[in-house]
A and B are shown apart, each in its own frame.
Chain A
Amino acid sequence: MSASMNGVTSEKYQLTVSPDFPAKRMSSWFIFNTWLQKALGMPIHLELYPDFDSQRAAISADKVDIIYANPYDAAMLVREKGFVSVARPAGKCDECIVAVAAGSGAQVVEDLKPICRVARTDDPGVNLVGMILLEPASLGHDNTQILTVESYPLVAKALMRGEAEVGFFLAEAFDELSSLVRHQLRPLVHSQISDFSHVLLLGSRLAERREEVTRVLLDMPAEAKGQDVLAELGFAAWERVTQEDTEFMIDLMDTLKA
């Protein structure tokens, strides 16, 4: 299948991104893909899936070679599909915000009562952590009512319209809501886990190029174009992730799933 010559392959690879990235970053990933193709000298097609289910179907069908994965999916990709870890955004962690409407009577999580209506997206990692943050109120799957919507702005809308008492947000997505919307919401709990982050992983067809891919990513801040691309993505640098770093993150995720 592979037609390689002098280390440069004509085979086309697929890059994809966890569907939880903010909509305003969509063009950033196209810019990153253009840069990555040039840096690695190989053709890469960026495929952005509209939701987690369609992305998982593509992963199951072995269509994905490079993925910027959320920590929840990283577990499946590494343990079940043999992906290897490369890098993560330096100093950037995935955190979750549990928010209520600004006028809600709930001041702390323990004020929430069953049956509590929860608005959320289909982001599995955020939903997992969000439910854990509700545990101090003795709330779980048996005494909450879930309203799944397509995006974080729609989670906000559900809270503002009183369709849900509480909403789960990726903290980065909450921060990127318009100030008008944010003023109508109030964070009840902000996770401070620090150990979860998105991570760039390579599938089996590219695993042997792990060091090369890592090097070009780590070198990005050293050149002007690389800095521009990073600025588009919203972080200053990549940092190396060893396989053990990723295994540790997966162990943590597994304890929360259990």
Chain B
Amino acid sequence: MLPDMNPADVIGSYREVVLPLYGLPPRRVLLVDREVAYPDGRLIVSVTDLRGVITHCNSAFVEMSGYPQETLIGAEHSILRHPDMPAIAFKGLWDDVQAGKIWHGYVKNLRRDGAFYWVYATVIPNVRAGKVQGYTSVRRKPARLKVAEAARLYAQLLAGEGGK
């Protein structure tokens, strides 16, 4: 279960949204209208178990998310879930990786301080001795043109889901 975001962690004025999460209780998230630029040359890496619980994350993940590593390890990956991301995008991700396929997509992630950052993400199943034992996700710096396209598409999908 993910704890609600803490107003003390948030920088600047924010708005509050209760975010429904698949398989988890809803989470109160605090949103600041500020984008943090993806750092040049870095890859954000994490590994999760089959349920999406983080088992490994690198220093770029820690820096960009704003959470300490000890908070991230053992937390559900949806700790980064931003309400501007439609549920159907993540359903597609899970459908693909659970079928043993690779998933790619542009993702808007939520930071601990309420700001956000965009990534181009790839998720692959980790196969050991013929069995999937978890998933590795690598995020890289996206092209702005693609981010703009994704933001428009996600807004349409959210409207279709009855979102904001």
Contact = CB atoms under 8 A, between A and B. Distances in A.
27 contacts: A110-B144, A132-B140, A135-B141, A136-B40, A136-B142, A137-B143, A138-B143, A189-B40, A190-B41, A191-B42, A192-B39, A192-B41, A192-B42, A192-B60, A193-B42, A194-B59, A195-B43, A195-B45, A247-B128, A248-B136, A251-B124, A252-B43, A252-B136, A254-B102, A254-B124, A258-B104, A258-B124
Interface of A: 108-110, 132-133, 135-138, 189-195, 247-248, 251-252, 254-256, 258
Nearest to B125: A251
Given A138-B143, A248-B47, A255 B41 contact: no
Contacts of B143: 135-138
A110 B126 CA distance: 33
Contacts of A255: 102, 122-124, 136-138
A135 B128 contact: no
B34 interface: no
Contacts of B102: 254-255, 258
B58 interface: yes
Given A194-B59, A255-B102, A136 B138 contact: no
A193 B60 CA distance: 9
A255 B58 CA distance: 15
B58 A109 contact: no
Interface string B131-156: 00000111011111110000000000
A135 B122 CA distance: 14
Contacts of B43: 191, 193, 195, 252
Secondary structure dominating the interface of A: helix
A256 B138 contact: yes
B126 A251 contact: yes
Contacts of A193: 41-43
Interface of B: 38-43, 45, 47, 58-60, 102, 104, 120, 122-124, 126, 128, 136-138, 140-146
Nearest to A132: B140
Nearest to B128: A247
Nearest to B38: A136
Nearest to A244: B128
A252 B58 CA distance: 12
B58 A138 contact: no
A135 B58 contact: no
A216 B126 CA distance: 31
Contact of B146 (A109, A138, A194): A138
A220 to B, nearest CB: 29
Contacts of A189: 40-41
B40 A109 contact: yes
A195 B58 contact: yes
Nearest to B101: A258
A190 B42 CA distance: 9
The 10 closest A-B pairs by CB, nearest first: A255-B138, A255-B122, A138-B143, A251-B136, A258-B102, A191-B41, A136-B141, A189-B41, A192-B41, A189-B40
Given A136-B142, A251-B124, A256-B138, 16 more contacts: A132-B140, A133-B41, A135-B120, A135-B140, A135-B143, A136-B38, A136-B40, A192-B41, A192-B42, A192-B60, A194-B59, A195-B45, A195-B58, A255-B123, A255-B137, A255-B138
